Structure 1
């Protein structure tokens, strides 16, 4: 609803907006010396003019929100909402979210105020995605960062290795939140890894068995629910808890499906975010089949970027389980990985016993063997990926 401004050039608009967005909008406008009505005017105009798909915002519990907009703009905004198949509340939330992303806080450093989102991926199994995900998460937590480690693989190896049970079917889970089927708080599913070395800074969101059906369920929802963007499902589920972390690391399944698209979308460079702050980290092996898998993954990334008009940064490669005793195939393959140059090889990790022992003991590597060569390699990767 709206009512006229005294001089007639604006009208008061009463709508709804999630309280978290209202607070961020108020703070950001104060930091930038802007009137809220001017910021919302710009936000709505930019949202209407953009042809890029905006991620859905969780508007459950949205509170009353009012501001002054130029006369006629709210009617135009409502028309755009109808054309895009979203509610007025959803359209306004998307507008404000995009504006906040495009106008970062001046108090933020060069990285922006978003958590770093590192997507550890390769559709080839057995390349050490889980070991690398866990290792760099531990390295960041050891260095003082607040870290969320997301077990996005329904096989649940990461959860199992850290001694955390998988979530049973038909229980609240990350997958349920991605499908919009949960009224719960995602925070309640997060487990703190109780190791003194990390001082409660390392958290795990466990895997769930329902993840095996994620590709099909996201595809069905995309076909049945107007305005549902399957690629944004993971981001919408994790967005509410992002402010609590400095780094979020995604241990992906060996897949090239819809769930992988959602994982890659989550790691894209957001508006206003510095290059190299977030992106993909790719563990590989020194063998020919790993090179083929890398080519397929790269093509999926490039296709997704072209389709959704976005950018995904390659943070680096990790040559894992390297053993020069395997001869020419291993040594020549390693040189080929290094010759790529961009993305760079951040570390070469040998196949040593400490990682296997840590897995058997259900303990983090950097707590079990903090001075091992593998632990040092994880710190090196974290430093390189965090450029």
Structure 2
């Protein structure tokens, strides 16, 4: 059961640590801040999206129980509304391990139903959103297949190392496994994550290797997400997205205001602010990637509409 024409994007790679959750949270949050209606689906038993968005351990965090019951037992599930303005979330977490086991058992009796479990769960409201991003686990084959069966597009983050790029082949196998259920699924693109801007040769070599693997330079996004360890750690520690950390950095007291406060015994206005000045560049990367994602989807939708119109006029 595919949602042809919907903007459902599975952010997927067969390897962990390549930025799937960070990209899902920050691109989704950035577009929602711009007024788009965005749904994020946390399909990862690690549930790291809760840390990225700052709702871990709150009433909004059920550790993925409702979503797991929807996948395993077809129970109804609705998103947590208003995690940010215009941003809703289907919460994930360790309970999804139960769902993965349930889907594996279900696949023995009804393989198609196991693959379409997520698509069926979100069918009633997915079209209400301008963009849906699914944060996929690196393992859990049944959960990955459920994500890809529900998606129109696959977005693959990779790092520049060879082992990270190997995850592309794992994704290719997942795509093949759901093509009978979701023939409209297509690759939206590959994005380089954690790029060292000073190591230009490494980045260029990785781009060339990925182009060779995929057979087309168009598969790569122009935007790459830079390596900014301090900002990445601080965003997660504070439960802020990159653009929110950027705003906090710009609003924080300057070094001379803090020094003056220490000298006079008066605290600087605004108190101790975030320290990661690299948040600005990181936020710019996510904004550029979000714009490129929407541009690619819009272009391909327009091309598909043109083909449909041309076919109908013959």
- Which TM-score tier does this pair reach, normalised by the shorter chain? 0.7 to 0.9
Per the alignment, do residues 296 and 222 of structure 1 end up closer, same or farther by CA in structure 2, a change over 3 Å counting? closer
2:190 aligns with: 317
Per-residue CA deviations over 1:160-197 (Å, capped at 9, x if unaligned) read: 2212234247x5x1111122353x5x23x514224xxx
Q: Is the Cα contact below 8 Å between 2:41 and 2:132 reproduced in 1? A: yes
- Counterparts in 2 of 1:1-387, with a 5 A limit? 114=6, 116-165=7-56, 166-168=61-63, 171=65, 173-180=66-73, 182=75, 184=76, 186-187=77-78, 189-194=79-84, 200-224=85-109, 229-255=113-139, 257-268=141-152, 279-305=153-179, 307-308=180-181, 310-325=183-198, 329-337=202-210, 340-352=216-228, 353-369=230-246, 372-386=280-294, 387=296
Per-residue CA deviations over 1:197-247 (Å, capped at 9, x if unaligned) read: xxx2012221132211323211222435x6961111001111122243211
Per-residue CA deviations over 1:279-314 (Å, capped at 9, x if unaligned) read: 011110011112211122123313432x44613221
2:270 aligns with: none
Report the Cα distance in structure 2 between the residues aligned to 1:214 and 1:294, rounded to whole angstroms. 25
Q: Is the Cα contact below 8 Å between 2:43 and 2:135 reproduced in 1? A: yes
Q: Is the Cα contact below 8 Å between 2:223 and 2:285 reproduced in 1? A: yes
SS at match of 1:372: helix
What TM-score does the superposition give when structure 1 sets the normalisation length?
A: 0.60
Report the Cα distance in structure 2 between the residues aligned to 1:177 and 1:217, rounded to whole angstroms. 11
Q: Is the Cα contact below 8 Å between 1:317 and 1:346 reproduced in 2? A: no
**How large is the Cα RMSD of the aligned pairs?**
2.6
SS at match of 1:179: helix
Any unmatched runs of 5+ in structure 2?
248-278, 297-314
Q: Is the Cα contact below 8 Å between 2:155 and 2:189 reproduced in 1? A: yes
Report the Cα distance in structure 2 between the residues aligned to 1:325 and 1:383, rounded to whole angstroms. 24
SS at match of 2:9: strand
Q: Is the Cα contact below 8 Å between 2:63 and 2:93 reproduced in 1? A: yes
Per-residue CA deviations over 1:61-99 (Å, capped at 9, x if unaligned) read: xxxxxxxxxxxxxxxxxxxxxxxxxxxxxxxxxxxxxxx
**Structure of higher RCO (CA pairs closer than 8 Å, 6+ residues apart):** 2
Per the alignment, do residues 181 and 263 of structure 1 end up closer, same or farther by CA in structure 2, a change over 3 Å counting? closer
SS at match of 1:319: strand
Q: Is the Cα contact below 8 Å between 2:63 and 2:91 reproduced in 1? A: no
Runs of 4+ in 1 over 3 A off after TM superposition: 324-331, 337-340
Report the Cα distance in structure 2 between the residues aligned to 1:244 and 1:335, rounded to whole angstroms. 39
Per the alignment, do residues 360 and 377 of structure 1 end up closer, same or farther by CA in structure 2, a change over 3 Å counting? same
Any unmatched runs of 5+ in structure 1?
1-53, 56-100, 103-111, 195-199, 269-278
Q: Is the Cα contact below 8 Å between 2:45 and 2:96 reproduced in 1? A: yes
* Larger Rg computed on CA atoms: 1
